[in-house]
Amino acid sequence: MHKLGRGHRDKVQQFMTITGASDKVALQVLKANDWHLEGAFDVFYSRPQIQTVTDTKHLDKLYNRYKDPYVDMILADGVSLLCSDLQVDPQDIVTLVVSWHMKAATMCEFSKQEFIGGLQALGIDSLDKFREIIPFMRSELKDEQKFREIYNFAFGWAKEKGQKSLALDTAIGMWQLLFAEKKWPLVDHWCQFLQVKYNKAISRDTWCQLLEFARTVNPSLSNYDAEGAWPYLIDEFVEFLTENSIVQKGECNDWSQNQ
């Protein structure tokens, strides 16, 4: 702990004083929450299993179970086996939440640091503990701030290595998965519009702005501002909806009713 800056040391001490946790647990939880005390307290008190330090030997054993035999990483086959052990469908959105917690750089891959570091931050050192935390991870999607973080994380996670944009088919699949959680009524129309009118890769700006559009503009478009600073693609989508009489005023519920 002596290597930490004064501000971080103070936070570790404050966390230990309030929670009674050891310095190892305090450091683990604070690092996992980017040194935000409030978030660290929430994690500590909502997940009792994190109050114990993980066993690194157990973590190494878990990692080796899923590690590729030729590369020091967990690749697609290992992720598939992990999902099977967790009794989770690989296509289940909770696998995205798992990757978000592990800060995974790429879909269907975990480096050793990502896998072990992520499990340590979650207080997991066994499959039983991992299975126990899956319902909590699923519930995190109901938290609007966490959903936003997971949504923004998904862009970098799902795009091809070395690419700045997200392939259209991949983006559509991710949008259908993510917006199914929020029941955004226009998601299928958005995907149809892209396939018919656009058919190009998706930029990060468009990806991020669509979430804001879905959150703030009523699906009836009753509060849509044509002079707003939306990306041109979203403006064209609105034209597509109105020109094709897809949206009738008052037809759809707004985002807040789906929280």
Question: Given pLDDT bands bounded at 50, 70 and 90, which one contains residue 47?
Answer: low
pLDDT value at position 30? 84
Domain termination site, one of 93, 117, 139: 139
Confidence of residue 250 (pLDDT cuts 50, 70, 90): very low
Higher-confidence residue of 222 and 123: namely 222
Shared domain for 65 and 133, answered yes or no, is yes
CA geometry: angle at 137 spanning 203 and 127, to 5°?
Answer: 120
Among 129, 151, 143, residue whose Cα is nearest residue 214: 151
Name which residue leads in pLDDT, 126 or 2. Answer: 126
pLDDT range class, residue 259, cuts 50, 70, 90 = very low
What integer pLDDT is reported at residue 129 of this predicted model? 87
Q: How confident is the model over 134-144, as a mean pLDDT?
A: 91
Please say whether the beta carbons of 31 and 42 come within 8 A: no
Kindly report the pTM of this predicted structure. 0.76
Q: Go through 179-191 and write b for each residue having 16 or more CB atoms within 10 A of its CB, e for each that does not.
A: beebebbbbebbb
Could you report the per-residue pLDDT of 150-185, keeping only the tens digit for each? 999 999 999 998 999 999 999 999 999 999 988 899
Residue 64 and residue 20 share a domain = no
Residues 72 and 35 in one domain: no
202: left (phi over 0), alpha (psi -120 to 50) or beta: beta
Query: 29: pLDDT confidence band, cut at 50, 70 and 90?
Result: confident
Residue 98 has pLDDT above 60, yes or no: yes
> Which position has the token pair 């949008």?
175
Task: Tell me whether residue 249 is in a domain.
Answer: no
Q: Are residues 108 and 150 in the same domain?
A: no
Residue 8 has pLDDT above 90, yes or no: no
Query: What separation, in Å, do the N-terminal and C-terminal C-alpha atoms of the chain show?
Result: 41
Name the average pLDDT for the chain: 87
Domain of 116: which CATH number? 1.10.238.10
What is the total count of domains within the chain?
Answer: 3
pLDDT digits (tens, 9 = 90+) for 31-45: 878 888 888 878 776
Bigger pLDDT: 139 or 44? 139
Regarding whether 99 and 29 lie in a shared domain, the answer is no
70 and 115 fall within a common domain: yes
> Given this model, what pLDDT does residue 157 score?
97
Lowest mean pLDDT among 49-58, 90-99, 103-112: 49-58
Beta bridge partners of 251: none
Q: What is the mean predicted confidence (pLDDT) over 202-223? A: 94
Give the separation between CA 137 and CA 159, rounded to whole angstroms.
Answer: 23
**251 found inside a domain:** no
Q: Which two tokens stand for residue 31?
A: 């690092």
Residues 133 and 186 both lie in one domain: no
Share of the chain above pLDDT 70, in %: 91
Q: Do residues 167 and 219 share a domain?
A: yes
The verdict on residue 114 lying in a domain is: yes
Strands (DSSP E) found in 85-129: 110-111
Tokens 């403006």 sit on residue: 235
Expressed as residue numbers, the domain containing 155 is 144-244
